[in-house]
A = this chain, B = another copy of it.
């Protein structure tokens, strides 16, 4: 279950680490802000910080293309890790394990704090918008050839 969704901005550059086996693990901190009017009609606002973790290829992409301030859309699942502090007390950290990442906003680069700047891997030119079956009948769509057109 892809149970959480975030739309927000990175508070810092991503942290990329690697497992002994060489797989990337990237952690980011994402702020989501919510505004509402309180009972006195005053504007209130609250910012929430979320720890988000990426693994493997998504970790590499996140490490390469995101930076402090980037606006992102993230889907993932909640996970609470249990660990122990120096005193041996149980501690818990809740994270979102990301399984989808979409970079938002227009071409931001052009002078970020990082070197390379840059944008998302440029989703390939979009062209075949047609899932038009264009079959002529009255029974609705068929799916005879879905193997060629569906991404799962």
A residues bordering B, Cβ < 8 Å? 1-7, 17, 19-21, 23, 25, 31-36, 38-39, 43-50, 53, 55-56, 71, 73, 75, 77-89, 91-95, 97, 99-100, 102, 104-106, 108, 123-138, 140-141, 143-152
Contact = CB atoms under 8 A, between A and B. Distances in A.
Q: Which of A31, A138, A149 has the most CB of B within 10 A?
A: A138
A87 to B, nearest CB: 8
Given A1-B34, A19-B147, A71-B104, A47 B128 contact: yes
Given A78-B50, A84-B135, A126-B31, A7 B7 contact: yes
Contacts of A77: 34, 48
A84 B134 contact: yes
Given A45-B125, A55-B143, A83-B133, 10 more contacts: A19-B145, A45-B123, A46-B131, A71-B104, A84-B136, A85-B137, A86-B138, A91-B91, A93-B140, A106-B108
Contacts of A147: 19, 21, 23, 39
Cβ-closest 10 pairs across A and B: A94-B94, A36-B151, A105-B105, A81-B141, A47-B129, A82-B132, A33-B126, A43-B124, A84-B136, A4-B4
Contact of A131 (B36, B81, B100): B81
A137 B133 CA distance: 26
